Amino acid sequence: MSKVLIIGAGGVGTVVAHKVAQNADVFTDIVIASRTKSKCDVLAADIEKREGVKVTTDSVDADSVPQLVALLKKHQPKLVINVALPYQDLTIMDACLECGVNYLDTANYEPKDEAHFEYSWQWAYKDKFEKAGLTAILGCGFDPGVSGVYTAYAAKHHFDEIQYLDIVDCNAGNHHKAFATNFNPEINIREITQKGRFYENGKWVETGALEIHKPLSYPNVGPKESYLMYHEELESLVKNYPTIKRARFWMTFGQEYLTHLRVIQDIGMARIDEVEYNGMKIVPLQFLKAVLPNPQDLGENYEGETSIGCRIRGLKDGKQKTYYVYNNCSHHAAFLETGMQGVSYTTGVPAMIGALMFLTGKWNMVGVHNVEEFDPDPFMEQLNKQGLPWHEVIDGDLEL
Ligand code: NDP
């Protein structure tokens, strides 16, 4: 008997809920709670129709620890899967500690009033989780998430020493909208407009936002302009693999997307501070979110696929070796299975697998951990079974 509580019923929460229901032998009781309960009810009805599984729903403001504590006491889950927003990570971790519940998320904590994310806030909970005998699994989406598991798998099976790591994230899909983000627009725009950063020879090197770019070729997609960005898993991976000399993250963007993004910034709509409007205070980026397409509604007309992977160079038996491990995910196939597009799917499936790893005792270290600290093998096995099969290229040209 394992009861799981999913917090957040957006694009990613919808996929997590479907996948958890598909694995009802492990997840014997499922609760979905979010700020707007009606969204959880619609989702529960869809899951009952598609998967034949009954789901309990509830409402919670996850910014409030007392509300979360009341929710956890009421449902008594073994594990919380947090797929609300990064702003809620710490409140949910606090409530988990108070109620003796384990924790998993897909994005590291970010304060609302500062577009800045890093693991220090959540790593600071390590002792508390250890003392309570609880586990917190951080960053268990695709990137962060599978990117860390891929790296751990490469370290375990292919390298004595990982030296160069490039995480490459390509969305070669077309949703037929002039501009839309693939996950929460507020979080997405905050992330992409930040300065770039990569790790080299023990130091972080800062770049202008999307300043460094080059075409990279992706399997079944071809060449796409790829932009160097800072991404949160770089922080934990260089810590957990100290032989890494350089670690970078690349993401593809189309010209149309970048032009819209520039205009949004130039006219002040990416601002996260409050402005006066008609006698009330609004945050421009939050207002923009309200008028942009909802990422949850993109799936129906989404064509093409994502291709995300790790390109790694290092030493094996004293010789240089290259290794590329990746997944390609079809937006349309994701939509047919869960009603959501590929970006929500590639995030939600790994979150479910991380939960499955924990509840089946395969990932069982207490404390606060990033995914690469656990055994990658059972997770990699599940990726092939749960809809995100992976492929590898050994000693190919990495282009990087
Ligand atoms: P959405 O905006 O679609 O969904 C967020 C959900 O959280 C909504 O149901 C929302 O409720 C709910 N929520 C927001 N604030 C609160 C609150 N205070 N209390 C309770 N519920 C709340 O986001 P996505 O599904 O696109 O993204 C979810 C998470 O996944 C984000 O943290 C994102 O950063 C992460 N992510 C991770 C990726 C990875 O690969 N690791 C990739 C993509 C996303 P309401 O509907 O009422 O607003």
Q: Which of 83, 85, 86, 118 is nearest to 6 (CA)?
A: 83
Give the nearest ligand 1 atom to 144 CA.
41
CA 184 to ligand 1 centroid distance, Å = 6
Return the pLDDT at 270: 95
Return the pLDDT at 331: 98
Return the pLDDT at 232: 97
Return the pLDDT at 35: 97
Tokens at 302, concatenated = 């989404």
Give me the architecture of the 146-338+388-394 domain, per CATH: 2-Layer Sandwich (3.30)
341 lines ligand 1 (CB under 6 A): no
**Percent of the chain surpassing pLDDT 90:** 98
CA 11 to ligand 1 centroid distance, Å = 7
CA 308 to ligand 1 centroid distance, Å = 21
**Percent of the chain surpassing pLDDT 70:** 100
Domain regions of the chain by residue span: 3-138, 146-338+388-394
Grade residue 84 by pLDDT with cuts at 50, 70 and 90. Answer: very high
CA-closest residue to ligand 1 atom 3: 10
Give the nearest ligand 1 atom to 63 CA.
18
Give the nearest ligand 1 atom to 145 CA.
41
Determine the average pLDDT of the residues in 245-272: 96
CA-closest residue to ligand 1 atom 41: 141
CA-closest residue to ligand 1 atom 29: 83
107 lines ligand 1 (CB under 6 A): yes
Give the residue, out of 184, 251, 371, with the most ligand 1 atoms within 8 A of its beta carbon, to mutate for a pocket test: 184
Grade residue 147 by pLDDT with cuts at 50, 70 and 90. Answer: very high
Give the nearest ligand 1 atom to 13 CA.
25
Return the pLDDT at 115: 84
Each residue of 330-357: pLDDT tens digit?
999 999 999 999 999 999 999 999 999 9
pLDDT of 16 above 90: yes
Return the pLDDT at 182: 94
Grade residue 202 by pLDDT with cuts at 50, 70 and 90. Answer: very high
Q: Judging by DSSP bridges, how do beta strands 280-282 and 102-105 pair with one another?
A: unpaired
62 lines ligand 1 (CB under 6 A): yes
In Å, how far from its chain's centre is CA 38? 24
Tokens at 68, concatenated = 């979360």
CA 199 to ligand 1 centroid distance, Å = 28
Determine the average pLDDT of the residues in 95-105: 98
Grade residue 39 by pLDDT with cuts at 50, 70 and 90. Answer: very high
Give me the architecture of the 3-138 domain, per CATH: 3-Layer(aba) Sandwich (3.40)
Grade residue 114 by pLDDT with cuts at 50, 70 and 90. Answer: confident
Grade residue 173 by pLDDT with cuts at 50, 70 and 90. Answer: very high
61 lines ligand 1 (CB under 6 A): yes
Return the pLDDT at 145: 98
CA 60 to ligand 1 centroid distance, Å = 13
Grade residue 376 by pLDDT with cuts at 50, 70 and 90. Answer: very high
Determine the average pLDDT of the residues in 387-399: 98
What distance in Å separates the CA atoms of residue 24 and residue 280, rounded to the nearest whole number? 47
Return the pLDDT at 1: 73
Strand partners, 7: 33, 82
Give the nearest ligand 1 atom to 142 CA.
40
Give the nearest ligand 1 atom to 182 CA.
26
Phi, psi for residue 18 in degrees, rounded to 5: -65, -45
Determine the average pLDDT of the residues in 50-71: 98
Determine the average pLDDT of the residues in 304-325: 98
81 lines ligand 1 (CB under 6 A): no
Q: Is the pTM of this model over 0.95?
A: yes
What distance in Å separates the CA atoms of residue 341 and residue 173, rounded to the nearest whole number? 10
Q: Which of 93, 110, 134 is nearest to 194 (CA)?
A: 110
Return the pLDDT at 354: 98
pLDDT of 362 above 90: yes
Phi, psi for residue 328 in degrees, rounded to 5: -110, 130
Give the residue, out of 19, 68, 296, 347, with the most ligand 1 atoms within 8 A of its beta carbon, to mutate for a pocket test: 347
86 lines ligand 1 (CB under 6 A): yes
Return the pLDDT at 266: 95
CA 257 to ligand 1 centroid distance, Å = 22
| Three-state SS annotation for the chain | CCEEEEECCCHHHHHHHHHHHHCCCCCCEEEEEECCHHHHHHHHHHHHHHHCCCCEEEECCCCCHHHHHHHHHHHCCCEEEECCCHHHHHHHHHHHHHHCCEEEECCCCCCCCCCCCCCHHHHCCHHHHHHHCCEEEECCECCCEHHHHHHHHHHHHCCCEEEEEEEEEEECCECCCCCCCCCCHHHHHHHHCCCEEEEECCEEEEECCCCCEEEEEECCCEEEEEEEECCCHHHHHHHHCCCCCEEEEEEECCHHHHHHHHHHHHCCCCCCCCEEECCEEECHHHHHHHHCCCHHHCHHHCECEEEEEEEEEEEECCEEEEEEEEEEEEHHHHHHHHCCCHHHHHHHHHHHHHHHHHHCCCCCCCEEEEHHHCCHHHHHHHHHHCCCCCEEEECCCCCC
Calculate the average pLDDT of the chain. 97
295 lines ligand 1 (CB under 6 A): yes
What distance in Å separates the CA atoms of residue 18 and residue 349, rounded to the nearest whole number? 9
249 lines ligand 1 (CB under 6 A): no
Determine the average pLDDT of the residues in 103-109: 98
pLDDT of 317 above 90: yes
Give the nearest ligand 1 atom to 296 CA.
3
Determine the average pLDDT of the residues in 230-237: 98
Number of CB atoms found within 10 A of residue 306's CB: 27
Return the pLDDT at 116: 87
Return the pLDDT at 380: 98
Please tell me if the domain spanning 3-138 has the same topology as the one spanning 146-338+388-394: no
Distance set, CA 349 to CA 148, 198, 310 (Å): 15, 27, 18
Each residue of 262-295: pLDDT tens digit?
999 999 999 999 999 999 999 999 999 999 999 9
